[in-house]
């Protein structure tokens, strides 16, 4: 704890996005801005409508699957029982995704409470919580002394937690896992960089980052719905900032987010 690190890649402009496609040339791939899809004013309304309409058929699927087990369980062959189990698991997966879409939609609405806040204690608490989920695992962490930003503490906590959770998850196969949280000043912004020495990803696939339910690794290889980066991106953009990434496969990844800096004390 207590180390301040510097960002090696310059932040993109507050307005607009980086030009040109990401490349994989050089020892570190070019940073790729997590670009959202084109705005759709009806998208959130459609999300709420679909989520409401899907609840009833999802409940029906679960009800019929449960009835099969309760009424015919003794007569169902093992393979049929396995099929019922898969049906129920698929139903839970769909329901989880519907809930995730609703949460993502809500992040774009409501009042934004912008206050000067230091995210360093938030980062430390999140890392402590992650460590408690896997008490037998040792992960080295380095966190900047202070991370002074201007923004909504609750929302920014969600964004940071999503990035740290990914770093924790994707260092699981590292021999000596290390997560760093660095901060530097860039004009009127603070740039926070969350780095890990995990499995990384191919920058040619970076355009899929931040898109709900998109994964860059094999299905089932890591837990999660693929909604964390999309949520973080939406929160950062609500603050007028940007979220971008750089990585080399097998050498880890760094996610940078720019946010308005807190005024001097």
The domain spanning residue 255 has which CATH number?
Answer: 3.30.565.10
Query: Across residues 106-112, what is the average pLDDT?
Result: 67
Give yes or no: residues 187 and 83 share one domain.
no
Average pLDDT score over residue span 32-39: 48
Q: Is residue 119 domain-shared with residue 78, that is, in the same domain? A: no
Residues 169 and 252 in one domain: yes
Residue 182 lies in a domain: yes
In a domain, 26, yes or no: no
Residue 7 lies in a domain: no
pLDDT at 242: 92
Are 247 and 174 within one domain? Answer: yes
Kindly report the average pLDDT of the chain as a whole number. 77
Full DSSP string of the chain: -------SSPPPPSSS---S-----SSSPPPEE-PPPPP-TTHHHHHHHHHHHHHHHHHHHHHHHHHHHHHHGGGS-HHHHHHHHHHHHHHHHHHHHHHHHHHHHHTTSS----EEEE-HHHHHHHHHHHHHHSTT---EEEE-S--EEEE-HHHHHHHHHHHHHHHHHHTTT-SS-EEEEEEEEETTEEEEEEEE-S----GGGGGGTTSTT--SS-TTSS-S-S-HHHHHHHHHHHTT-EEEEEE-TTS-EEEEEEEEBPPP-
Total domains, the chain: 2
Residues 192, 226, single domain; the answer is yes
Question: Do 119 and 242 fall into the same domain?
Answer: yes
Clarify whether residues 192 and 130 are in a common domain.
yes
Give the per-residue pLDDT at 8: 33
The verdict on residue 180 lying in a domain is yes
Residue 24 has pLDDT above 70, yes or no: no
Residues 50 and 167 reside in one and the same domain: no
At 15, the pLDDT band (50, 70, 90 cuts) reads very low
Same domain, 119 and 248: yes
Q: Which residue has the higher pLDDT, 100 or 81?
A: 81
Q: What phi, psi does 183 have (nearest 5°)?
A: -145, 145
Q: Which domain holds residue 80?
A: 43-106
Asked if residue 22 belongs to a domain, the reply is: no
Q: How many other C-beta atoms are found inside a 10 Å radius of the C-beta of residue 25?
A: 8
253 and 122 within one domain: yes
Residue 174 is assigned to a structural domain of this protein: yes
Torsion of CA 143, 149, 152, 155, to 10 degrees: -30
Residue with the two structure tokens 């037998």: 136
Whether 18 is covered by a domain: the verdict is no
Contact 129, 166 (CB under 8 A): no
- Tell me the β-bridge partners of 115: 151
Residue 98 has pLDDT above 80, yes or no: no
In a domain, 3, yes or no: no
The residue with greater pLDDT, 90 or 121, is: 121
Same domain, yes or no: 194 and 82: no
């Amino acid at each position: 704890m207590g180390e301040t690190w510097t960002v090696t890649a310059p932040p993109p402009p507050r307005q607009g996005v980086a030009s040109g496609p990401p490349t994989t040339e050089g020892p570190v791939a070019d940073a790729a801005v997590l670009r959202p899809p084109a705005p759709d004013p009806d998208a959130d309304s459609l999300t709420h409508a679909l989520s409401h309409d899907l609840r009833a058929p999802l409940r029906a699927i679960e009800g019929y699957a449960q009835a099969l087990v309760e009424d015919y369980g003794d007569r169902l062959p093992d393979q049929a029982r396995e099929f019922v189990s898969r049906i129920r698991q698929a139903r839970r997966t769909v329901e989880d995704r519907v809930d995730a879409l609703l949460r993502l939609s809500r992040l774009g609405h409501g009042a934004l409470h912008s206050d000067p806040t230091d995210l360093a204690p938030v980062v430390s608490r999140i890392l402590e919580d992650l460590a408690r989920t896997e008490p037998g695992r040792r992960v080295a962490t380095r966190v900047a002394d202070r991370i002074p930003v201007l923004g909504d503490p609750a929302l920014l906590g969600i964004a940071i937690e999503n990035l740290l959770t990914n770093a924790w998850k994707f260092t699981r196969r590292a021999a000596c896992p290390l997560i760093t949280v660095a901060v530097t000043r860039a004009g009127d912004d603070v740039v926070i960089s969350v780095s890990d020495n995990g499995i990384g990803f191919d920058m040619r696939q970076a355009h899929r980052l931040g898109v709900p339910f998109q994964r860059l690794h094999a299905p089932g290889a890591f837990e999660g719905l693929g909604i964390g980066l999309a949520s973080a991106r939406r929160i950062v953009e609500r603050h007028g900032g940007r979220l971008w990434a750089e990585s080399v496969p097998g050498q880890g990844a760094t996610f940078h987010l720019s946010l308005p800096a807190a005024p001097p004390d």
